Amino acid sequence: MTPEPILITGVARRVGLHLARTFLERDIPVIGTYRSERPALDELAEAGVELHRSDFYDESSLRSLTRAIVERHGSLRALIHNASDWLAEGSELPAGDVMWRMMQVHVSAPYQLNLALEPLLLACAEPHADIIHVGDYVSSRGSSKHIAYAASKAAQDNLTLSFSARLAPKVKVNSIAPALVMFNEDDDEDYRRRARNKSLMQREGGLDEFQHAVDYLLHSSYVTGRVLPMDGGRHLRVA
């Protein structure tokens, strides 16, 4: 039997791209969303990923995405909410716009997708289906420089609680809260050193570690309504 597809939002780079490549290696069909053109999209298309361009800041674009997926698919194995944005206070946008954008991409879009795709998850032929929200360490700690971002990630954690109660026992709903998965190419060595020193493990988690966390949740038949920390013991680090 052909495996049922996994939908990954924000599939064109970093974590989303790694997840897509790994699932493809396992012959698991992947549906991916993206907002901007990226070099890896051609690779994903050639590998058979069903790609949908969707701007989560545009309600009509989001509705078109859900309609297209419902029309093409009768079931989903998993929905992984990886799409994200990262705006700081004091950016060029007014404060209200910063908060709206953070809540839109991290809360409103996952909320709408979860509701619209609920029938497909409930129709999964496997014993259970999964929703995984990709959260952030700051959801439980706050951030003086990214207040709206941290607040939106905390709200996303609450979606995990509510949807796990709504969709149990067929659909498990969890969140992964990483502190540092990987660096950007333009991060200088001083920044990297300071970032690594924030955790007990003194390093970034890495994409493979994140994949292990996803696999754990997908393979578990019991864990739901939980936020899985992936922070290298950062909460125990004394400055």
**What is the pLDDT at residue 192?**
79
- The total of structural domains in the chain comes to 1
Order of strands across the sheet that contains 78-81:
50-53, 30-34, 6-8, 78-81, 129-134, 171-178, 227-230
Assign residue 160 the CATH number of its domain: 3.40.50.720
Its pTM stands at 0.94
Residues forming the active site: 149
Task: Determine which helix (DSSP H) or strand (DSSP E) holds 175, and give its type and residue range.
Answer: strand 171-178
**What is the pLDDT at residue 205?**
66
Domain span at 78: 6-236
Q: Report residue 192 as tokens.
A: 């990297």
Query: For residue range 94-132, what is the model confidence (pLDDT) as tens digits?
Result: 999 999 999 999 999 999 999 999 999 999 999 999 999
Q: Report residue 75 as tokens.
A: 């079931």
pLDDT by residue, tens only, the chain of 239 residues: 789 999 999 999 899 999 999 999 999 999 999 999 999 999 999 999 999 999 999 999 999 999 999 999 999 999 999 999 988 888 789 999 999 999 999 999 999 999 999 999 999 999 999 999 999 888 888 887 899 999 999 999 999 999 999 999 999 999 999 987 767 777 677 767 877 777 777 777 678 999 999 999 999 999 999 999 988 877 877 65
Query: What CA–CA distance (Å, rounded) separates 7 from 54?
Result: 13
To 10 degrees, what angle do helices 14-25 and 207-219 make?
A: 60
Asked if the structure places residue 1 within a domain, the reply is no
Task: Determine which helix (DSSP H) or strand (DSSP E) holds 171, and give its type and residue range.
Answer: strand 171-178
